[in-house]
Every structure is written in structure tokens, then in C-alpha cells.
Amino acid sequence: MNRSGWIRILTAVCLLVLHANVALADAINIAVASNFAEPIKTLASRFESESGHQINLVFGSTGKHYAQIKSGAPFAAFFAADSRRPELLEKEDIARPGSRFTYAVGRIVLWSPQKDLVDSQGKVLEAKTFQHLAIANPKLAPYGKAAQQFLQARGLWDELKNRMVRGENIGQTFQFVRSGSAELGFVAYSQVKRPGHPQEGSLWEVPESTYAPIEQQAVLLQDNPVAKDFLAYIKSPEAVAIIRGYGYGMPVSDK
């Protein structure tokens, strides 16, 4: 092969390496509360197809994500299941000032894959016609805290303690119920309300007046243009419609 041929090959290789490095630079890691897994998968996929950037989603409990971020975990943004942890990160000068906003208002439901187990008033809890009740750890997961508040308001917390199976996060809690490890459990409405899919089993929507609002907020953690664009996309009418489709509410000012 002559010299010009080698030069063309080396040039092509250099361009491929450069392209790979650019693509790598455009990939960001985002910490996401488990309850928001399905909606954000859809949102990230649409953003990726429109922007060409890559979003790596890491799911887990809000409490654990907060601890990881405090320890220096390389997340560009954080979608929490509450407002307290994002506010703390802002006060601790970890989150970027002015980036915090409410992206969804969560709702809890009592759900079972068994068609007739959960009645329309949630009286199955008082009847105790079950062995195990799944609930997310109230110390780590806002949805678990909301379930605890409801049970305490109804005077059932102490009565049902021995029947509780606690998940580390709402994702694990949902799996406990879905797998049959618990006959029913308190899960996020978004986990059973999925656009285009029929609702499985039986559920009862827990009255929102019985627990503190689950105001879910996001914050920017790095001055990264891709992360900034993604957070901006989450506020767009298209993204808001998708989030609502999964059963989430929006702040009063956004209704």
C-alpha cells in the first residue's frame, strides 16, 4: 500500500476515535427514584432520538441516591421522590443554584395482582385477609413514608407491623407484590398505570388527604449542557403529557 493509502486509513481511524470520544462526552449519568423508572425511560428515549445524546439512568431509593451524591457519585442530575433531599443538596452547595423544580406529584395505591383482593374502600387492611403487606422503607423512600402516614392516620400501623415486608425502595416493594412474596402492598400509582397497557389485579387509590404530598423534585448537579437540555425537556409540554399519562399530578401552578 502506498503512502497516501496509509494516510487515508490513519485519518479515518483518527476520526473514528474522535467521534467515539465526543459520543462518550455526550453521555451523562442521572440518578432516578425507582417510582419514576418507566416514565423516565420513555422520556430519555425520546430525548436521545431527538438530540443524539446518551442518558444513563441509575435507579434506586431517594435516600441512598442522596448519600451517594454527597459522597461524590458522578451524577449530572438527580430526580428524587421528594423535595427534601434536592433542597438539602441545594443548601449544601452540591446542586446548582436555581435548578431545583417539581417534575411530578406522586400518588400511592394499595395494589394486588389478585383480581378481587383489594376492594374499592381499602377495607381489606382492616379485615386482615392476607399474610404479608409490602411497604417501602419509610426512612429511605418517600412513598414508604406516605404509606406509613396513611396507616398511622387509620390506626393500623402497629396492628399490621408483623405482616409488613419492607422494600429498600418502591421498585423492590412492587416486585415483592408482583412476585407473590406479599399478597398486596403500597406502590406508586405509576407502577400499575401504564399507557397502552390494561391495569392488572385490583387496587385502591389511597386518599391524598391522608398523607403529605409527594412532591418530586429534580436538580442539576453538574454544569453539563446535555443535563441542562434534558431538564429543560422534562418541562416541555410533550414531557409533561407523558408524565401525566403515568398517573402523576403536577404542581398547582402547572395545571
* Average pLDDT for 28-43: 95
24 confidence band (pLDDT: 50, 70, 90): very low
Q: Determine the average pLDDT of the residues in 164-192.
A: 95
Give the pLDDT mean for 156-184: 95
Provide the pLDDT for residue 66.
97
11, pLDDT greater than 60: no
What is the value of pTM for the model shown?
0.80
Nearby residues of 23 by Cβ (< 8 Å), 6 or more positions away: 54
User: Poorest-confidence range of 24-33, 128-137, 149-158?
Assistant: 24-33
pLDDT digits (tens, 9 = 90+) for 72-92: 999 999 999 999 999 999 999
- Top CATH class, 3-105+214-254: alpha beta
Higher-pLDDT residue of 76, 24? 76
pLDDT at 196: 75
Q: Could you give phi then psi for residue 81, rounded to 5 degrees? A: -100, 10
Asked whether residue 6 carries a pLDDT value surpassing 60, the answer given is no
Q: What is the pLDDT of residue 93?
A: 97
In this prediction, residues 152-158 reach a mean pLDDT of 96
Q: What does the pLDDT read at residue 151?
A: 98
Q: What is the pLDDT confidence band of residue 140, given thresholds at 50, 70 and 90?
A: confident
Q: Please, what is the average pLDDT of the chain?
A: 89
Domains of the chain, by residue range, sit at 3-105+214-254, 106-210
Sequence-distant (≥ 6) Cβ neighbours of residue 216 within 8 angstroms: 33, 35, 36, 79, 80, 81, 82, 83, 102, 103, 104, 105, 106, 142, 248
Instruction: Return d(Cα 235, Cα 241) in angstroms, integer.
Output: 10
- The arithmetic mean of pLDDT across residues 208-237, rounded, is 96
Q: How high is the pLDDT of residue 52?
A: 93
> Under CATH, domain 106-210 is a member of which superfamily?
Periplasmic binding protein-like II (3.40.190.10)
As a whole number, mean pLDDT of residues 188-203 equals 86
Reported as a pLDDT band with limits 50, 70 and 90, residue 22 is: very low
* Two domains, one topology: 3-105+214-254 and 106-210: yes
Grid coordinates representing 243 are: 408524565
- pLDDT score recorded for residue 4: 52
Query: Grid cell 415483592 — which residue?
Result: 176
pLDDT at 253: 53
Burial classification of residue 20, based on how many CB atoms lie within 10 Å of its CB (0-12 exposed, 13-18 middle, 19 or more buried): exposed
- Which of 204, 207, 229, 83 is CA-nearest to residue 142? 83
